[in-house]
Chains A and B, each alone.
Chain A
Amino acid sequence: MTRFCVSLGGEVRKGLLFAWAERLQILLELPFFALFILLLGPLLGAGNQIAAGRVSWALHSSRTSLLLLAFVPALVFYFQAVKLFWRLLAEIQAGTLEQVCLSPLPSWLVAAAGRLVAALAETVLVVAAIYGIISAFVPLRYAWNPAALLPAAALIVTGTGYSLIIGGMTLVWKRIQLLQEGFLLLVMVFTAAAYLTAGILAFRLGERTARTRGTLARY
C-alpha cells in the first residue's frame, strides 16, 4: 500500500511540475478563451445577420453564462487529453515509457493520475480567470448548489476516460495529433458520457498491442 501511495504521489508531483513548466501556454490561452466565449454568444443562431453582413454584438447575461458553463467540460477534456497525448508521445519517443510498466500501479493509472490532478488544477485556474475576465464585460448568473458537484465529478471521470482512449491510440499509432485535434473539436461540440470504461479498455488494448509487438519504446 505504501509503495502504491508513493508511486501515485510521484506521478501527481510530476504532473504538477509539468503543468508549472507550461505556464506560458496558460497565459496564451486565457485571453483567447475569454474572447472566444464573449464573441461566440452573439454569433449563435445569427446566420441571417451574418449573411447580411451585420451582427448585433450585444452581450446577453443568460447566454454568456450558459456558454461559460458549457465551456468548462471542453476545458477539462482539452487539458486532460491534449497534454496526456503530447507527454505520452514524448515518453515513447524518448524511450522512457517502458519504465511505466515497472511501476506497482496499473499502467493506465500511472498515465492518468499525474495528468488528472494537474489538469484539474489548470482547469480551475483557467476557469476562475476566464470567469473574472468575462464578468468584467457581462454579469454572470449562476445558482450555486452542492448538487452540481455530482455532474462535475462525472465530467472529470469522462474527461479521464476520453484521454485514456487517446492515450491507447497513441501507444499503437503514435503520431495521431491531427486525429486527436479533430476528435477534441468534435467532443467540444458533442460532449458525451461513458468515456471512462471505454477509455480504460482502449488504453489497455493499445498497451497490450504495443507490448505484444514489442513497440512500446520503439518509434
Chain B
Amino acid sequence: MTVIAAPRTDGRLPALRVTASETGKGLRLMWRRRAMLLTGAVAQGFTYLMIEFLVGGGHLNHAVLALTLPAYFAFSLAATAALQGSGGIAEEVNGGTLEQSHLSPARPSLLMADRLAALATEGLLPAAAVTAAFWAGYGVRYQVRPDVLVPLLLTITDALAYALLMTALTLAIASIGAVVHVFNMAVMFFGGMFVPAAVFPHGVEIFARFIPTTLGAQVLNTTLAGRPLSAAWADGTLPWLLAHAAVLSALAWMLYLYTLRRARREGGLSPR
C-alpha cells in the first residue's frame, strides 16, 4: 500500500497564499470592470453636483459644498463597497463558486477580511478621486492637519462595516440587491450629502446619527474647519463615532460569520 502524505494545512503559508489570491481576485475583477466603475463614479459625482445645484437655488453654494463634500466621500465609499459586496457575493452564490472558496484551508473570517480589502480598494479609489477633483476644482478651503486622519479612518471603518453588513444580508435575504439601493439612498440623504445633518430637526438628526456615515462626516467637518479633535470630543460627536464604528463593525463581522455558517448548514452557498 502506498501512502501519500497530505499537504499541511495548518501552517500560515497556505492561509497567506489564500489571502493574497482572494484579494488579488477582487482587484483583478475591479480592473476588468474599470469602465463601469469609472462611469458609475462620474454619475455619482454628477448627481451630487445636481443636488447641490438644487439646494443652492440654481447655483452652487461653496459654503454648503464645503460642508457636504466629506459626506459625499463617505457616501461614495459606502455605496460602492455595499453594492459591489452584495453583487459580488450574489454572483458567487448563483454561480456556485462561493462553496469552492470555502473549501480552502483559510478560516472564513480570513476570507472575509480579504473580500473586505478588495471592496475597500474598489470603494476608496473612485470616492477619493472624485472628492479630490471637486475639492481642487471648486477651490474648497479646508484646514488639513494630521488629526483629520482620526475621523477619516473611523469613517472608512464605518462605511466598510456597512458594506459588510449588506454583504452578510445578501446571504440571508433574497432580493437584497434592490434593498441595498434603498439603504444607499438613506445614507445619501441622512448621511449629510444633501445638507449637513446638524441642520435637520432635532429628532431627525438623532435618527440620522444611526446612519453609517453621518457621525464620520460631522467629525470630519469639525476637523476640516480647523477646530481640534477636542472640540468634536466635547460636543459628543467623536465618542459617538468611536462607539458607532466599533458596534457596527462587530455587528457586521458577527452577522457575516453567522449567515455564512447558516448558509453552509442549509445549503445556501449555492443556488437554491
Contact = CB atoms under 8 A, between A and B. Distances in A.
Interface in B126-183: 173-175, 177-179, 181-182
Q: What's the dominant secondary structure at chain B's contact region?
A: helix
Nearest to B93: A93
A173 B38 CA distance: 14
A89 to B, nearest CB: 8
Interface stretch (B18-26, B51-59, B101-109, B248-256): B51-59
A32 interface: yes
Interface stretch (A7-15, A50-58, A137-145): A50-58
Nearest to B196: A50
A184 interface: yes
A50 B33 contact: no
Contact of A55 (B56, B175, B199): B199
B64 interface: yes
B182 A185 contact: no
B247 interface: no
B108 to A, nearest CB: 22
B55 A22 contact: no
Contacts of B173: 24
Contacts of A184: 181
B189 to A, nearest CB: 6
Interface string B23-40: 000000000010011011
A185 B55 contact: no
A186 interface: yes
B43 A183 contact: yes
Contacts of A148: none
Contacts of A18: 175
Given A93-B90, A178-B40, A185-B43, A50 B179 contact: no
Interface stretch (B2-10, B80-88, B110-118): B80-88
Nearest to B60: A47
Given A55-B199, A94-B94, A219-B91, A178 B83 contact: yes
The 10 A-B residue pairs with the shortest CB-CB distance, nearest first, are: A182-B43, A93-B94, A45-B57, A178-B40, A47-B61, A51-B63, A47-B56, A86-B177, A185-B47, A189-B50
Interface of B: 33, 36-37, 39-44, 46-47, 50-51, 54-59, 61, 63-64, 67, 79-80, 83-84, 86-88, 90-91, 94-95, 173-175, 177-179, 181-182, 184-186, 189, 194-196, 198-201, 204, 271
